[in-house]
Chains A and B, each alone.
Chain A
Amino acid sequence: MNILYFSWIKDKLGKTKENITIDENISSVAELITFLKSKDETYKEVFKDISSIRVSINMETANMEDSISINDEIAFFPPMTGG
């Protein structure tokens, strides 16, 4: 699964993207976050306050409870500041 990171999330994690292998039992964004948080302290810190993070699935804005599958492109970013 391809995961992209933007803004301060990218800075804190020190990467713009990564390809990870996930368990079949991970079926939602929330479950993916739980999995990432279990990886190490940096992820735990980044995803500590989920209210400050937004997510997209295949370039469409999504919610934490939305379903995901291994071929999806997931992106995590703070609220957008366009214009």
Chain B
Amino acid sequence: MIKVQKENFSIEAEIKKINNSFENIGAISSFIGTVRNKSVHENLISMTLEHYPGMSEKMLEKIEETAKKKWKLLGTCIIHRYGELFPGEQIVLVITTSKHRKEAVESCHFIIDWLKTKGPFWKYEKTNDSGFWVEAKQSDIDEELKWKI
């Protein structure tokens, strides 16, 4: 299941939904990305996530499908928020479930690495006296390439 939304999400609620829909889950892996209060620049006021409606959903689906092809998974969930978010707020949620731990842990790691470079989202950081678009990091590109998928 993928969702691109402005609203916040609840990891407990999403895990519950997966648990209610799938049997024989032996491993649940999850990741939550949050807004730091000190990012590239000091004293971050807010981070605005812009996205490409339509393409963002399409890419999240593609990432989820790719993970499901590579690992034997049960229920999965990717929720990515957009709009203006403030320090401490949740940005992204990834949940992967499987019978055994390896599949859940590895696929969760893979999904978040791919989201970094293949999710059509752009971050605008607002500070006390200015604002700027966050540049993509080479380290994120390197992490994505390591998967060789």
**A residues lining the B interface (CB < 8 Å):** 4, 6-8, 11, 56, 59-61, 75, 77-83
Contact = CB atoms under 8 A, between A and B. Distances in A.
Contacts of A8: 133
A72 to B, nearest CB: 13
A59 B117 contact: no
A56 B117 contact: no
Contacts of A4: 52
Contacts of A60: 58
B134 A59 contact: no
Contacts of A80: 116-122, 136
Given A6-B50, A56-B52, A83-B115, A78 B121 contact: no
**Which bracket fits the contact residues of B?**
20 to 34
A6 B92 CA distance: 20
Given A8-B133, A56-B55, 9 more contacts: A7-B122, A7-B133, A75-B52, A77-B120, A78-B122, A79-B136, A80-B118, A80-B119, A83-B33
A6 B82 CA distance: 14
Contacts of B85: none
Nearest to B136: A79
Interface string B40-79: 0000000000101011001000000000000000000000
Nearest to A82: B119
B122 A59 contact: no
B134 A83 contact: no
Given A59-B55, A75-B55, A82 B117 contact: yes
Contacts of A79: 117, 135-136, 141
